[in-house]
Structure 1
Amino acid sequence: MTALPAPPPESRTGTCPFTANGEDREDSRSVSSSVSAEAQDGTAVRSAPVADWVVPQELATDPYPIYARLRAESPVAWVPALGKFLVTGYAQCHAIELDQDTYSAQVSGTGATMTRTLGENPMLRKDDPEHTTERHSINPTLRPKAIKQVWTPIFERNARTYIDTLAGAGPDAAELNRDYAAPVASQNLIDLLGLPGVDPETMRRWSHAFIAGTGNLLDDPDIWAAADTARTEVDTLLDELIPFYEANPNDSMTSALANSGLPHPAVAANVKLTITGGMNEPQHMVTNMVWALDHHRDQHRRVIADHSLWPAVFDETARWLSPIGMYPRQTTRSVVLGGVTLPAGAPIGVVVGAANRDKNHFTHHPDTFDIFRPKQPHLAFGSGVHLCAGHWAAKTSIGQLAVPLLFERFPTLRVDNRRETSWDGWVFRGLTTLPVTWDN
């Protein structure tokens, strides 16, 4: 997994350039705040709290202690090292998703790098009605009926193919990310998009190049070179595929986009957007589910004995170890969020990885993995108009097939503690290395 590089530090003094009165704030080693106004409902309103103790490298190593402190001190805080307001409370993140008029997906900064990377603004960086127009073109391909009738047999075939690859590596050398999760996620994406002749390693390279480019706020020339190479290769392929699918439509996402009436650049941008985000999350859900069950053996035993529990494993893993940890928004007007005044144009990081452990929403031990917890909505797949279009595909391909079939083939599959396991990232978070073993 390639985590998005952190934005350049804009301040290490605790000064927030977005304070309500426009004045610098004093240095602080914790989230600081002051009452500056009163909302219409009589609640206190503060100018922007500052969390200048947040270190991006520590977020990438283990973000959860930082998330807990931010939620406790202020669920909306200015983080100088990231140049963003981080929103970590569930209620506040959910409110953002339900109000696209105030919290726009058309953002500067990271939005600009995505456009630079993909060559065009995709639907993820658009609000309605443009977003809905482009989203509707792919919805039929990703609806539950289509997933069941068209894609489930393909997903199962791919899972069984790479289970054989994992078996070939053997219980002393198998690495779940390399030998199974990444190639399964890549091949599923290749098939969904309808990209003939593309191999899983090429898909992985494209996806990682686009993710790195989207986060390249430091203008690293090597990152741009890799992103430009990937974009050129994908665009060259699409120059052939788009007219082909216009004349020969099928069930793939590229075919649906090509026949939607959208201009060629918009079709290409959304294919590249899907390549960017459509591999890492399913890949990390495979390894995250295996890791979570391995570290909760009682629940592991119950799932192996009762396969009807697999959907709960998928859902709880998505909440507890959210593979998409943060995404950006930008305010279109001055607004009060979580008792904090935000000006127009404020850059926001919607930290769903933190919101999904908020005790004010998940009252039943939110920091623990529990597939039997009372069912409550979470934000792992977003919410509102930007609810992840591929969530049904992910639930089927990973939650119902890739991981259950893995344990069907290897009932004693477990993390191999003789070798190192590694995690990385917070914008996208997942296991980069997960050695596994099993009994012969």
Structure 2
Amino acid sequence: MTTVPTINDITLAELSENPYPIYARLRKQAPIAWVPAANIILVTRFDTIKYIDTHPEFFPAFNPQSLQIRAMGHSMMRKDGEDHRLERAVLQKSVNSDTIQGYWMPRFERIVDELIDGFRDKCEADLFTDFAAPMASLCLMEILGLTNVNWQDLCDWSQTLMDAVGNYGDDPQIWARQQQVSSLIDKALDQMIEIKRATPDPTFISQMANSETLSLEQIRANVKVIIGGGINEPRDATCTALYGLLSNPEQLSLVREQPSEPMWGKVFEEAIRYCAPIGMYPRRVAKDMELEGVALKRNDQLGLVVASACHDEKYWDHGDRFDINRKRCTHLAFGTGPHLCLGFRTARMQVGQLSVPSLIARLPGLRLNPEKAARFGGWVFRGPLSLPVKWNL
């Protein structure tokens, strides 16, 4: 048994620029490693991460040092056991299969079509800012039930909360902005709670406001978690899927020739494997133990790098390539175990059935703009920062 190795030559800037070569090195040389720049022990192999996520008795989600709790309050994402199950059960009613297909899909389809109608005649756009960001924000406003704000503010709030959750460098300006945004969210939420109590519907806020088990503090924390993760996942998955297809003409031709739901499902799953929108999340060590030959101490902070797990050589050859023809293998982009992402079915519908197929179908000759390169960034949360494209009338 060895102590946790320390890797000093990794910087946050390098991780944000392109973390995947760093992850490959860690998987090979130090799959459980203390990285001082991130102030956390990074775990980078698929099997180890899956073991941790499916054994919450040894690696609980609750952590009094959690940046997420500091940024958003104590939501269900940082709870374990019965406390977690009870809160999740309240929200689950909004995203079961019947509600997604019968209630949310028509509303999301209208949003997608109206956004495309707004720029279709221009023949050029940045699909990150002109489509994916407003699409994800408008859809989240609907499913959350926070319709008394505008989509631009919700995008800004989401990014501010994500910056705070990923603030491993402890930047005081990020915390100051987080506090401002938190107050704005609380004000908007308090208004909608009263409305939803009077007129219940399938939205998240309605389900929580009309539950007899959740306090105002619990509602506020869970709403902030949903705002944080509910925009970046569908936004970034949409842009990543499009980037992958437009960068690989033979794969683009294949989905155009076979535009079936299973084919679009492959596109979605490969996109979030190729670039997991949530690249890392934390867990705490409950007691002194040995893991993969490494000695861990009680209250050690672990960062489960699912973005690395999704490129693990044991399961994927050439994991840095976008390839919808891969043999199906379960990835960890949605996590696993009791904290499997609550919105995974909604994201599959939103991206795999609506946003990406609609753009490919309605923008003839859609292609990357050769004069403006697409940009990716981030590591705790990673995705395209811009996706300039052109198409024909």
TM-score, normalised via structure 1 length: 0.86
* CA shift digits 1:162-203 (9 cap, x unpaired): 1123325x234x111000000000000000011123211011
Amino acid aligned to 1:354? S
Q: Which runs of 5+ in 2 are unaligned?
A: none
**Hey, what's the Cα distance between the residues in 2 that align with 1:238 and 1:320?**
35
Is 1:280 aligned to 2:232, yes or no? Answer: yes
**Hey, what's the Cα distance between the residues in 2 that align with 1:218 and 1:317?**
29
Contact map agreement 1:356 1:379 (CA 8 A) in 2? yes
Deviates further, 125-134 or 87-96: 125-134
The equivalent residue for 2:300 is: 346
**Hey, what's the Cα distance between the residues in 1 that align with 2:21 and 2:177?**
34
Q: 1:231 aligns with which of 177, 182, 203?
A: 182
Q: Report how far residue 414 of structure 1 moved.
A: 1.2
Is 1:215 aligned to 2:169, yes or no? Answer: no
Amino acid aligned to 1:73? Q
Q: 1:295 aligns with which of 244, 247, 250?
A: 247
Is 1:407 aligned to 2:352, yes or no? Answer: no
Deviates further, 303-312 or 365-374: 365-374
Is 1:148 aligned to 2:101, yes or no? Answer: yes
Amino acid aligned to 1:176? L
**Hey, what's the Cα distance between the residues in 1 that align with 2:123 and 2:46?**
41
After superposition, the Cα gap between the structure-2 partners of 1:419 and 1:229, relative to the gap in structure 1 and judged at 3 Å, is same
**Hey, what's the Cα distance between the residues in 2 that align with 1:259 and 1:81?**
44
**Hey, what's the Cα distance between the residues in 2 that align with 1:337 and 1:292?**
36
- State how 1:311-326 maps to structure 2 within 5 Å: 311-326=265-280
- State how 1:1-400 maps to structure 2 within 5 Å: 45-109=1-65, 111=66, 113-118=67-72, 120-167=73-120, 170-172=122-124, 174-261=125-212, 262-308=214-260, 309-362=263-316, 364-400=317-353
**Hey, what's the Cα distance between the residues in 2 that align with 1:293 and 1:210?**
30
Matched length: 390
Query: Of the two, which has the highest radius of gyration?
Result: 1
* CA shift digits 1:63-93 (9 cap, x unpaired): 1110111001121111122121110000001
Q: Report how far residue 399 of structure 1 moved.
A: 0.9
Deviates further, 220-229 or 266-275: 220-229
**Hey, what's the Cα distance between the residues in 1 that align with 2:168 and 2:31?**
25
Contact map agreement 1:165 1:179 (CA 8 A) in 2? no
3-state DSSP of counterpart to 1:46: coil
Percent of aligned positions that are identical: 37
After superposition, the Cα gap between the structure-2 partners of 1:79 and 1:264, relative to the gap in structure 1 and judged at 3 Å, is same
Contact map agreement 1:75 1:338 (CA 8 A) in 2? no
Q: Report how far residue 226 of structure 1 moved.
A: 2.2
Q: Report how far residue 217 of structure 1 moved.
A: 4.8
Q: Which runs of 5+ in 1 are unaligned?
A: 1-44
3-state DSSP of counterpart to 1:344: coil
After superposition, the Cα gap between the structure-2 partners of 1:215 and 1:427, relative to the gap in structure 1 and judged at 3 Å, is closer
TM-score, normalised via structure 2 length: 0.96
3-state DSSP of counterpart to 1:369: coil
Deviates further, 179-188 or 215-224: 215-224
